[in-house]
Structure 1
Amino acid sequence: MKDLLRVALVLALIFASTFVIIQGTGLVTEEGVRAFLADAHAIHPGWFVLLVILLLVVDLLIAVPTMATILLAGYILGPIVGGAAAATGLMLLGTLGYGLGFRFGRPILARLFGDDTRLAGIEAAFARNDLLVLFTCQALPILPELSCTLAGVARMRFARFLLGYGVGVVPFAFIVAWGGSASTAADPSPAIYTAIGVSAALLIAWRALRRRTA
């Protein structure tokens, strides 16, 4: 378990460092992303779908306001198309993170630990709660990227990964998109209540998972 926590800490620092570097250079800022999305009404719906998907995928490397992006997708595209675009982007993000962990994580850890027994221990530690971790991974920033990458590092079966991750993020995408679609400029309360409710539910689930693994 200690080795798994060590790997998770290293990965979290890597993901956080990309955010700090990019924010520090001023190339991409959260305010800039929000302003760009606010002008999205002028974009053709087809292009906006691609934009939503792209923004959610690059969240693997650049901190993107995920909840705000999905809410706006629902507001502009409606709950079905907006939810589908968001779900597609999140699934692609997860698959890419899993692939990076699967392809590059194991060789790096082999050099770091040099012990197959310890690598097997990392796999076993993650496997004990892999589905629950993936299901609740939208509860905290960086956790989705971290969880998906760890799933790849731990050699979780891809079908099992898709099940656990998809069961969590697909309903999340459609629920949040619905909150955006039900809102108007004059009454943004559905989006606000949806964001609060979904975040609270995921945080409660995450805390329950932490108590289980403590």
Structure 2
Amino acid sequence: MKALLKLILSFTLVFISIFVLMKFTGVITIEKVENWLLIAKDTGVWTLMFIVVVILMSDLLLSIPTLATVTLSGYFLGHLYGAIASLAGLMLVGVMGYLLSYYHGDKIEMRVLKTREQRLDARQNFAQHGIVMILFSRAIPMLPEISACMAGMTKMPFYKFIAAWSLSIIPYVLVCSYAGSISSLDNPNPAIYSAISVNIVIWLAWYATRKLGKHAKTIAN
């Protein structure tokens, strides 16, 4: 388990460094995302959807405020088109992270984990816990991208990754884009309440899954 945690920590440090850089330089902020969508509002639905997809895709490298972007997509595009654009963007983020790490992650893995035994241990542990990590990754910033990269690096079967990734983003996008679609500048409460509720539900689901897993192990022993 130590090898897996070491690998996750290495990815976390990279993503935190990117986040801090973006924060201090002000390259990407919630206000800027909102302004971009506001400027593009009159260009047509398809152009606006394309911009949402591009913004979310860049989350892999630029630490985009995902929750705010998905909510704003619902606000500017409506629930249906906002959800479609957000799902497309987040799906592409996951697939890109998986594929890049699948084909190029070995170099990083070998630098962080020096021995073959450590690398094998990390892969075995991620195979055991990776699905749960992906499913509940939306509860913590940067964890979704780290999970996607870890899945590719440890060679998780693509069908397992895409199934878990889909289950993690579909409810998230549907709820947040809907909240955005019924919010307004005068009444932002639906968006605020949905952001709080989504995180609480994910944390409770993770806690329940963890408890059930421990209970099952106790019964088995």
**TM-score, normalising length: structure 2:** 0.88
Report matched runs for 1:51-90 at 5 Å: 51-90=51-90
Report matched runs for 1:98-177 at 5 Å: 98-177=98-177
Report matched runs for 1:26-37 at 5 Å: 26-37=26-37
Cα distance in 1 for residues equivalent to 2:201 and 2:184: 24
Cα distance in 2 for residues equivalent to 1:113 and 1:140: 25
Contact 2:182 2:190 in 1 (8 A): yes
Aligned to 2:179: 179
Query: How many residues are aligned here?
Result: 213
Q: Structure 2 vs 1, CA of residues 188 and 30 (structure 1 numbering), >3 Å: closer, same or farther?
A: closer
Deviation digits for residues 45-75 of structure 1 (CA, Å, limit 9, x no counterpart)? 1111011111111111112111111111112
* RMSD, aligned α-carbons: 2.0
Out of 179-188 and 123-132, give the one that drifted further. 179-188
Q: CA deviation at 1:210?
A: 6.1
Cα distance in 2 for residues equivalent to 1:32 and 1:185: 16
Structure 2: gaps spanning 5 or more residues: 215-221
Task: State the one-letter code of the partner of 1:25.
Answer: T
Contact 1:19 1:61 in 2 (8 A): no
| Identity, % of aligned positions | 34
Contact 2:7 2:113 in 1 (8 A): no
Q: CA deviation at 1:34?
A: 3.2
Contact 2:28 2:64 in 1 (8 A): no
Task: State the one-letter code of the partner of 2:158.
Answer: F
Q: CA deviation at 1:163?
A: 0.3
Deviation digits for residues 61-101 of structure 1 (CA, Å, limit 9, x no counterpart)? 11211111111111222212111110111110011111122
Q: CA deviation at 1:186?
A: 3.0
Cα distance in 2 for residues equivalent to 1:140 and 1:38: 28
**TM-score, normalising length: structure 1:** 0.90
Secondary structure (helix, strand or coil) at the match of 1:175 reads helix
Out of 4-13 and 174-183, give the one that drifted further. 174-183
Contact 1:83 1:174 in 2 (8 A): yes
Structure 1: gaps spanning 5 or more residues: none
Secondary structure (helix, strand or coil) at the match of 2:61 reads coil
Cα distance in 2 for residues equivalent to 1:79 and 1:33: 18
Cα distance in 1 for residues equivalent to 2:167 and 2:187: 30
Q: CA deviation at 1:23?
A: 3.1
Cα distance in 2 for residues equivalent to 1:181 and 1:189: 12
Task: State the one-letter code of the partner of 2:148.
Answer: C
Aligned to 2:93: 93
Aligned to 2:200: 200
Task: State the one-letter code of the partner of 1:98.
Answer: Y
Q: Structure 2 vs 1, CA of residues 210 and 97 (structure 1 numbering), >3 Å: closer, same or farther?
A: farther
Out of 79-88 and 100-109, give the one that drifted further. 100-109
